[in-house]
Structure 1
C-alpha cells in the first residue's frame, strides 16, 4: 500500500503521541514491577493475583494503542505457519508473545537460534518469518519500550535476566542494535486486540498467558532468573514437572498429585532410577495414590529399577492392600524382575504373609524359580518365616525343591533350629535324609545347631543316625566334639556307633579320650561292643590324663594292660601327658617298654624335653642302663631337619624348666642350628623372656650372630618382643651392630612396627639415622611399612626427615608410593620436602598419582598449595 507525504506526516505525529502515552504506561509498569518483585520474594499469592488483575486491565489499553499505530495485523493462517510452540519447556510458568512492527529493522537482525526454550511469536508480514525458530526460546519477561527510553541505550540481550517483553516502534533505536542470539528468559508482552495470538496462545504448559511484568536489572552476570513462585527458575519445577509429580507420589500427597495430573502432568514419568510415580506409591503402600494414578492411565506393568513392576514393589514391601488393588487393575502376577523373581518370591523373601495371600488368591504360581533356581519356599525358609512357609506349603509348594549345589529347605530350617518349620515341611513330605551341598543331612545340621527337640523330631521321622557328611562326620562325633552329653545319650539309644571313624581316622571314642571328655567317655564305653576292643586300645593311646586311663581300666582292664597299654605309655611320654603316664605305670604297664626303634619311654620323653615325664619314669624304675649324662648326650644329638636340639626346642617353646634341666645336665648353651641360630636366638624371637634370662645366666653369648649376621637383639626387635629386647640390652647386647644387609636392631624394630621396641632402643643409645647398605634409615623402614607410631617416635628422636637412599628416595617417597596416608601426614608435619625427586625424577606427589594413592595425593597437594 502506497503512503503519500501528508499521510506519512500524520502517521509520524500520531506515532509521537502514542509513544508519549506508552512512556506513561512504562512508568506505571515500573511501579507495578517493583511491587511484583517483592511479591516474588515473599511468595504472596493474594497480592500477586491482585497485581495480575491490574495488569489485565492495563493490557487492553496498550493493545488499543498498538492497533491504532500498527496499521495492519497478521492473519490467522500466517501465524499458524510461523509460530513454533511445539517444543515448549514443561517447566514454563509464563509464556512469551511479541508484537513486531512491519518496518522494524529487527526483522533483519533477529536470530534466536541459540535462544533457550519456550516462545510463541506473533508476526506481521516481515522477513523474520524466514528466520525465527522458536524451538529453543525460554520463559519469563515483560517490558514496554519507547523510543526515548534509556533502556534503548543500555539493552544487551546477551545476559538478559528476567522480566522483558518488547513493544517496538519503527523509530526505536532498539531496532538497530538488538541481538537476540543469546537471549535468555523471555516471556509475556502486550498483545493487540487483533493479534491472532489472542486466539492461539502458547501451547506449552503455561499457567499465565496474558499478564505479567517484571524488572529489568540489566547486569551482565546478574542473579539467576526468578519464577513467579520465587527462587531460581531452573530449580523451581512447574506444576506438571515430572519431578514434582514423583515427589508427590513418594510423599503420599494426594491433593498435589491430583493437581499435577489435572494440569497435564505425565503420569508415567520416571525418576533417575527408572521408577514411575506408581512404583513409588506402590512401594510405600499408598493405595489411594495408586487408585488415582491408575485412573489417570498409569501403566501397571511398566518396568522400573531392576526391571520391577509396581506389583513387585508392593509385594516386596508387604503392602497387601496395594497388591490386591494392582492385581484387580490387571497387573501381571507372574512378571519377573531382573533376578527372575516374581511378586510371590519377593513377598516370601520379605516374610509378608498377607501380601502373599493376596497373590495366591489370584492364582499366582508357588514354585516359580528365580535365576538362582530358588523357589519362594526356599526364600521363606532361609528367612525363617514360619507363617509364609506354612502358607506356601498349604498351597502345594514343592517342599523338596532345591537349587543346584544348595541345601534343601529342610536342611536350611534345621540350621535355623526352627522346629515349627521343620515339622511343617516333614508333614508335607520333605525327605528327612536328603543330603545338602556338603553331604550334610537335616540331622547333622540340627546336631550342630544344638537343638535337642529338633534332633528328637528328626529321629522320630526316620533320620539315619549314622549318616555322614563329606568329611565322614557323624551326628555322634559332632555331639562329642561339642560336649553335648544329652545328644550323645539320645543318639546312642537310637543306634549311633561310638567307634565309627571320620575321614581322618577319629572316632567318637578316640576324640572323647584325647580331649578328656570324662563324662562322655564313660557313656561311650558303656556302648562299646566286644568287637570294638581295637578302637578302645587306639583311644587309650591318646588318653590325656589319669582319670581317662582309669575309666578305660574299669571298662577293659585287659586291653589297658596289653599291647594298647604299652602304646599308650609311649604316646604319653612323647606328648608329655604326665598324669596319663603315671596312671599307666601305676596300673602296671612296663616302664621299659620300647617302640619299633627300640626307644624307651624315657628316651622319647627326654628327647621331647618333657622333664616331668622323665622324672616320673625314673621314679617308676625306668632303667637308664648308663649314666644320666648319656641320656642328656643322646638328647643333645637328637635333632630335627633344622638341627634343633632339645635345648633349642625347649627354648623356642618357652619351657624354662626343661631349659634349666638341660643346662644342669650339661647341654651346650651356644649350640647352633643349621641356620646358625642358638637357643638364645629362638627364645628371643619367640618372646620367651624367662628362657632368655635362664640362657644368659648359663653363659649364652648375648651378641652371637647367625648365618644372616643377626644377633638375638635383632630378632627380638624385629618381632616386637620388648621384654626380651630389654633383657638383652641389660646383658650388654651390642646395640648398633649390623646384619648382612647393614641393618641395625633399630631398622628391624621400625620395620616390625612396635613403638615400644623402637623407644627402648633409642633410649639405650641406638643411632637414629644410621644407614644400611642401601643408605636407608630406620625412618625409611617405618614409612615404607606404614608404621606411623614408629615414624613419630623416630622424628621426635631427631631422625633426618629428608635423608635420601641410594635410589634418591626419601621416607616421604616410600610412604606415598605405598599409600600410607598417616605416615605421609606425619612426615609432612615433620618437615618433609615434597618437591624432592628420586634418581628417576619422581616426586612424592608423582608416585602417589602414578600408583593411584588418592589419600596421599590429596594430603601432599594440600600441603603444597
Structure 2
C-alpha cells in the first residue's frame, strides 16, 4: 500500500510540473498576443487617421456636388446611410480577448487556456493572406509588393530575400505561417542554410519546434541537408535536439543518414543522443554506415553502441556489409562489432556481403573469423551467394576457409548448379576440383548438363561433356540436353552434344529433331546423323514444323529431301496442319515444294476444309490458288463452305463463293450451308448466305428448315432475318412441329413474339 501511495505521489508531482510548464507557456502566449494586438491597434489608428486626412477634401467636394440634388434617401444620387464601423480590437486586463468584425475569442489566463489557444492556432489556415489572417495579423491590404518581389513571407524565405522578409514582418506578417506542406519560413530557411534570414525569423518569434510534413522541425531540415552552421544556430536558440519525425528519426539520425559529418558533429557537441532508435529500431549508426566514415567515427567516439540491433535484429555491421566500404567495416570490427551476428531473417554480415558481391568487405569479414558455412533462412550459404556474382577470387577464398562445396539450399540448388547458371567455366572448374558432385540435380530433376544447355553456357557444356556427363539423361519433365538444344535453337551447343552422338540412341536424335527451332539446328542434325533426318524422324519433324509454324526449319527439311507429302497416322499431311493453324508462309513453302493440295485425311478432310473451318482466309486463298477443290466433300458430305458456315467464319465466304462454291449444296443429311449457319446462330453468316442466293425454305432429311433450327435454339435475330427473306413460318418438320412450336417448347419468348409479329403483317 505504501509503495502504491509513493507511486501516486510521484505521479502527482509530475502532473504539477507539467501544469507549471503549461502556465509558463500560457504566460508567454498571452504576452505575445498582447504585443500583437497592441501593435495592431496602433497601426490601425495611424492608418485610419492618414486615410481620413487624405480623403476628407475629396469627400467634401463630392458631397457639395450632390447636395443640390433633391433625391429621396433611397435615390441613387444620395450617399447610402453610413454603416457602423467594425468594433476595434480590444484587450481585457484580466482575460486575453480578441474582438474583431469577424471573430471574438476570449482566452482566460488559466491552465485551461492552452488547449483553446492550440485549437485556435490549428484552425488558422496555412495561407498567409486572406480576410481572416489580415484581420488578426494586420497584413495591410494596400501594401502590394512589386511584381518581381516576393508576394508572401514564405516566398521571401524561400528566395532568401532578407529585406523583403523584414518588410513583411514589420507589416505584421505571420512569422509562423505555413505552406501546403506545413513548412514555416523557418523550415525553408533551415533547409537552405540561410542563417541570416533564420536569425531574423527567430528574433521575431518563429517557432523552433513547429512540425512540417513528416513531423519534421526546422532542426530536422537543417540536419538532413547538412547545414552545420544552421544546426548550431538552431540548437543555441533552443531547438529540441531530441525531437523525432514521423519515422522516429532525430536530427542526429538524419544527419547520419545523409553522411553530413559536420552537421552531425554540431549536434553531438550539444549533447545529442547517439543511440536514439527510430520506429524500425535503427540507431543513427545504422544509417551512417552506408558510406560516411567520418560520421561513423564521430558516433562511435561519442559512445554509440556498435552492436545496437534493429527490430529485425540487423546490426550496423550487417547494414555496412551491403555497401562497398571496407574501411567502415574494418573500423566497426575494431570497435567490437559481432562478425557472426544473426538477424531475424537468418542473415549474417558475410551472407549479406556475398549476396551483394562486396569482395573487399568479404575479405575483411573472413579475416575476423566470419563463419563460412552459416545458412540463411532459405538454406543459402555464403558460397552459394558468391557463385551468383561470378567472382572466382571470392569463391576461392571461401573454399580456402573451408566452405562446404556441396551445401544445397531448400530448392536443392548447389554452388555448382548456381555457377553453371550464373558463373564462369573458371568457377565451375574450381568447384569440381574441390569435389563438387557431378550427379547433382535441381528441384525439377534437371542435370548439370541440362542446366548448362538451358543457360547457353557452351564452354561449360564442353567442360561437363569432358567430365563424362551424357546428353541423353532426362529431367523429370522428359527433357534431355539434346532435346532442349534443338528446341531452343542453340545450334552451337547442339554441335557439342552431337559430337558425343555415339552415346545417344537414334530415337533420342529423332525426338530432338522434331522440335528443331531453326534451319541451323536442322543442318547440324543433317551433318551429324543424315540417315536419321531422311527416315521417319525427318518426316515427323516436317509435320511438327508445319504445325508449329517453324518455316525456316520446314524449308531446311524440304531442301534436305524430306517428302512434302509425308503423313501422320491419321492421314494428315504437313499441309493440313499448316492450313489449320493459319501458317501462311508454311502453306506456300509446302505448295512450292510440291505438296499435293487435295490430299484427304482419314475423315476425307482436305487442307482447304481445315483452313475454312479455322477461318484462315489467307490460307484459303493460297490453297485455292494452288488448285484446291472447292467442292470437295468430307466423310459427311460437307464442303469447305459448310464448315466455314457452321463455325461462323464469314471472312472465308467471299473467297469460297468467288471460287465457285455452291451455296445450296447439300451434305449426306441434306443440310445446306444455311442450315450450318443457322446451327451456329451467327446473324451475319445467315445474311451473307441469303444474299448469295441460299434457298431459305430448304429442308433437311428431318424436314427441318433453317428457321426451325434458329427457333429451336432461340436465335431471335437470325429468325427475323430469315423471315424477312421469306422463310415460311407455317412449314412443319417431319415431327409435325412448326417454327413457333419449337420456340414455345424451348421457352424462347423472343422468337415466339417475332413470329407472332410476322404473322400479324399478313
TM-score, with length taken from structure 1: 0.50
Q: C-alpha displacement at 1:507, in angstroms?
A: 1.0
Using a 3 Å threshold, how does the CA distance of structure 1 residues 692 and 374 change in structure 2: closer, same or farther?
A: farther
* Alpha-carbon offset, residue 536 of structure 1: 3.5
Answer whether contact 1:569 1:584 (CA < 8 A) is retained: no
In the alignment, what sits opposite 1:371?
A: 344
1:250 aligned to 201, 217, 224, which one?
224
1:464 aligns with 2:433: no
Deviation at 1:341, TM superposition (A): 1.5
Structure 1 contact 306–337 (Cα < 8 Å) conserved: yes
Q: Any idea what the Cα deviations from partners look like across 1:440-484, whole Å, max 9, x if unmatched?
A: 333333333364444444444443345322223334324434554
Please point out which of 572, 596, 600 is paired with 2:542. Answer: 572
| Residue in structure 1 matched with residue 4 of structure 2 by the alignment | none
Name the SS for the 1:307 alignment partner: coil
**Which of 215, 223, 242 pairs up with 2:137?**
223
User: 1:343: Cα distance to partner?
Assistant: 0.9
CA contact (8 A) 2:322 2:353 kept: yes
In the alignment, which residue of structure 1 is the partner of 2:656?
695
Matches within 5 A, 1:722-733: none
**Cα 1:570/1:233, change in 2 over 3 Å:** closer
Superposed counterparts of 1:595-610, under 5 Å: 603-605=572-574, 607-608=576-577
Confirm whether residue 306 of structure 1 aligns to residue 280 of structure 2.
yes
Q: Pairwise mapping of residues 230-241 of structure 1 onto structure 2 (< 5 A)?
A: 231-235=173-177, 238=205, 241=208
Map 1:373-772; keep pairs closer than 5 Å: 373-405=346-378, 407-449=380-422, 451-514=424-487, 517-530=490-503, 532-540=505-513, 542=515, 555=528, 565-573=535-543, 575-576=545-546, 578=554, 603-605=572-574, 607-608=576-577, 631-632=599-600, 634=602, 636-637=604-605, 645=610, 647-649=612-614, 651=616, 654=619, 656-658=621-623, 660=625, 663-664=628-629, 666-667=631-632, 668-672=639-643, 676-678=646-648, 680-681=649-650, 684=651, 694-699=655-660, 705=677, 707=679, 709-710=681-682, 740=715
CA RMSD of aligned residues (A): 5.5
CA contact (8 A) 2:384 2:414 kept: yes
SS in 1 for 2:22: coil
Separation of aligned partners in 1, 2:462 and 2:527: 20
Q: TM-score, normalised by structure 2?
A: 0.56
Shift in Å, 1:677: 0.8
Distance 1:500 1:218, change over 3 A: closer
Gaps of 5+ in 1: 1-80, 97-116, 121-136, 169-173, 175-179, 187-216, 685-690, 716-726, 744-772, 775-865
Q: Distance in 1 between matches of 2:222 and 2:593?
A: 88
Cα deviation code 1:288-314 (max 9, x no counterpart): 444443343322221124222121221
Deviation at 1:119, TM superposition (A): 5.4
Rounded Cα–Cα distance in structure 2 between residues aligned with 1:697 and 1:648: 17
SS of corresponding position for 1:436: coil
Say whether the 8 Å CA contact 1:333–1:364 is kept in structure 2: yes
Distance change (3 Å), C-alpha of 1:543 and 1:323: closer
Asked if 1:279 is matched to 2:253, the reply is yes
Query: Which of 95, 105, 110 is equivalent to 1:182?
Result: 105
Relative contact order (alpha carbons < 8 A, sep ≥ 6): 1 or 2 greater? 1
Q: How many residues align?
A: 530
Residues 368-395 of structure 1 deviation map (CA, whole Å, 9 limit, x = unaligned): 2323222222332333322222222322
Distance 1:637 1:229 in 2: 96
Quick one: distance in 2 between partners of 1:321 and 1:220?
A: 49
Aligned equivalent of 2:334, options 361, 368, 385: 361
Gaps of 5+ in 2: 1-15, 49-83, 98-102, 110-130, 140-167, 178-200, 210-216, 547-552, 580-586, 633-638, 664-672, 695-709, 719-748, 751-762
Question: Equivalent residue for 2:153?
Answer: none
| Shift in alpha-carbon separation, 1:345–1:659, aligned structure 2, 3 A | farther
Is 1:268 the counterpart of 2:242? The answer is yes
| CA offset digits 1:560-579 (Å, max 9, x no partner) | 78xxx435534534543655
Question: How far off its partner does 1:335 sit?
Answer: 1.6
Q: How many angstroms does 1:433 deviate by?
A: 3.0
Any conservation in 1 of the 2:339–2:368 contact (CA below 8 Å)?
yes
CA-to-aligned-CA distance 1:340-377 (integer Å, 9 cap, x gap): 32111111223333222221111111222323222222
Q: Residue 449 of structure 2 contacts residue 481 of structure 2 at CA under 8 Å; is this kept in 1? A: yes
